[in-house]
Structure 1
Amino acid sequence: MRAMWKGSVSFGLVSIPVKMYGATSTHDISFRQVRRSDGSRVKYKRVAEADGEVVEYSEIAKGYELPDGRMIILTDEDMEQLPLPTKKTVEVLEFVPLDQVDPILYNKSYYLEPDSNAGLKPYLLLREALESSEMVAVVKVTIGTREQMATIRVRDGVLTMSTLLWADEIRKPEFGFLGEDLELRPQEIKMAQSLVASMEGDFDPSEYADEYESALDELVEAKLEGNEVVSPAVGEGDEKDNVVDLMAALQASIDRARKGEGAGEAADEAEKTPAKKSASKKAAKKAPTKKAAAKKSTAKKSTAKKAAKKAS
Structure 2
Amino acid sequence: MKATWPGMIQVGLVALPIRLYAATEEHPVRLHEIHVADQGRVEHRRFCKAEDREVPYEQVGRDYALADGRMVPITEEDLAHLPLPTKRTVDVLGFVPFEDIDPISFARPYYVGPGPGADRPYALLVEALARTGHVAVSKVALRSRERLALLRPRHGMLILQTLLWQDELRDPGDLAPSTPLTDRELELAELLIRQLTGINVGEVHDEYAHALEQLVDAKITGGELVEPTEPAPPLDLMAALEESVHAAERAHGRPPARPRP
1:262-277 matches, cutoff 5 A: none
Mind listing any 5+ residue stretches in structure 1 that lack a counterpart?
227-312
The answer as to whether partners of 2:61 and 2:74 remain within 8 angstroms in 1 is no
**Correspondence 1:205 to 2:204:** no
Q: Name structure 2 gaps, 5 residues minimum.
A: 222-261
- The equivalent residue for 1:146 is 145
Counterpart in the other structure of 1:184: 181
Letter matched to residue 31 of structure 2: F
Higher strand share: 2
Change in 2 beyond 3 A, CA 1:55/1:154: same
Aligned to 2:233: none
> With structure 1 as the length reference, what TM-score do the two structures score?
0.61
| Residue aligning to 1:265 | none
Please report how far the alpha carbon of residue 187 of structure 1 lies from its aligned counterpart in structure 2 after TM superposition: 2.2
Per-residue deviation at 1:40?
Answer: 5.1
In structure 1, what is the equivalent of residue 129 of structure 2? 130
1:192 is matched by which residue type in structure 2? A
Q: Corresponding residue for 1:24?
A: 24
Helix, strand or coil at the partner of 2:27? coil
Equivalent pairs counted in the alignment come to 217
Between 77-86 and 150-159, the greater mean CA deviation after superposition? 77-86
The aligned runs of 1:164-175 (5 Å cut-off) are 164-175=163-174
Shift of 1:125: 0.9
- Give the TM-score normalised by the residue count of structure 2: 0.72
- Taking only the aligned residue pairs, the percentage that are identical comes to 36
* Superposed counterparts of 1:1-312, under 5 Å: 1-34=1-34, 41-49=41-49, 52-57=52-57, 58-64=59-65, 66=67, 71-77=69-75, 79=79, 82-116=82-116, 118-175=117-174, 178=177, 180=178, 182-201=179-198, 203-216=199-212
If each structure's helix is expressed as a fraction of its own residues, which one has the higher value?
1
CA distance in 2, matches of 1:19, 1:183: 51
Q: 1:73 to 1:80 in 2, by over 3 A?
A: farther
Name the larger-Rg structure.
Answer: 1
Q: Measured at CA, do residues 214 and 158 of structure 1 come closer, stay the same or move farther in structure 2, by a change above 3 Å?
A: farther
* Structure-2 separation of matches of 1:37 and 1:193: 55
